[in-house]
């Protein structure tokens, strides 16, 4: 698979190189009470997911995580910390994304917004189905990390 393609500019006729780069995204494991917050997606792929989305131009991944948490769950998050980066080209069925996953604490009551039809709290031992993207793997890594010494990053 080529990482770039040559296209012709419709205005000047010159060849232009267009690069195909992965799209940066964020996901947030929001710890809430004795569980975590998941959202039911309004858009394909349908199912349950960690709150998250695309990083906007001019925005840091930390800002994107806080914004996506607020937009999809109505929650302000605190103690935001990076958990892990997931970059498998097959992790999103739509196109190649790279996600930076954060862990944070949520306050107030989760309320669905933006492209989430529902926001609910689930225990790690009672997760809903289906869980989309690679979020089941992310949550399994998170579970192992929480059950371990709580130090270091997950090994994938």
**CATH assignment of the domain containing 115:** 3.90.79.10
Catalytic residue IDs? 118
Q: Quick check: helix, strand or coil at residue 56?
A: coil
Taking 80 as the threshold, does the pLDDT of residue 49 lie above it? yes
pLDDT of residue 115: 84
Residue 133 lies in a domain: yes
Q: Of all helices (H) and strands (E), which one includes residue 61?
A: helix 61-73
The whole-number pLDDT of residue 155 equals 45
3-state class (DSSP) for residue 124 = coil
Confidence category of residue 151, pLDDT binned at 50, 70, 90: low
> Is 31 within the bounds of a domain?
yes
Task: Report the distance separating Cα 15 and Cα 7, nearest Å.
Answer: 6
Range of the domain at 27: 22-147
The answer as to whether 156 is a domain residue is: no
Question: Across the strands, what pairs with 101?
Answer: 27, 84
β-pairing, 52-54 with 23-32? Answer: antiparallel
Token look-up 């130090």 returns 151
DSSP code for 2: -
Distances in Å between the Cα of 83 and the Cα atoms of 7, 9, 72, 101, 152 are 39, 42, 20, 5, 9
Tell me whether residue 14 is in a domain: no
* Number of domains into which the chain is organized: 1
Task: Please indicate, yes or no, if residue 2 is contained in any of the structural domains.
Answer: no
Instruction: Please check whether residue 85 lies inside any domain of the structure.
Output: yes
Residue 11 lies in a domain: no
Q: Does residue 155 lie in a domain region?
A: no
- Three-class DSSP category at 147: helix
Mean pLDDT, residues 140-147: 94
At residue 156, the pLDDT reads 43
Average pLDDT over residues 94-120: 89
């Amino acid at each position: 698979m080529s990482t770039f393609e040559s296209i012709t500019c419709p205005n000047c006729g010159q060849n232009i190189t267009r690069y195909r780069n992965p799209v940066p995204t964020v996901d947030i494991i929001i710890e809430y009470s004795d569980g975590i917050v998941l959202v039911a997606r309004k858009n394909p792929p349908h199912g349950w997911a960690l709150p998250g989305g695309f990083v906007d131009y001019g925005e840091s991944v930390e800002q994107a995580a806080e914004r996506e948490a607020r937009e999809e769950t109505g929650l302000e998050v605190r103690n935001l910390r990076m958990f892990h980066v997931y970059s498998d080209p097959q992790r999103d069925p739509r196109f190649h994304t790279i996600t930076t996953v954060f862990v944070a604490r949520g306050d107030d009551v989760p309320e669905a917004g933006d492209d989430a039809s529902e926001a609910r709290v689930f225990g790690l031992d009672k997760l809903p189905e289906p869980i989309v993207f690679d979020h089941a793997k992310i949550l399994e890594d998170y579970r192992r990390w929480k059950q371990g010494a709580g130090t270091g990053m997950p090994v994938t």
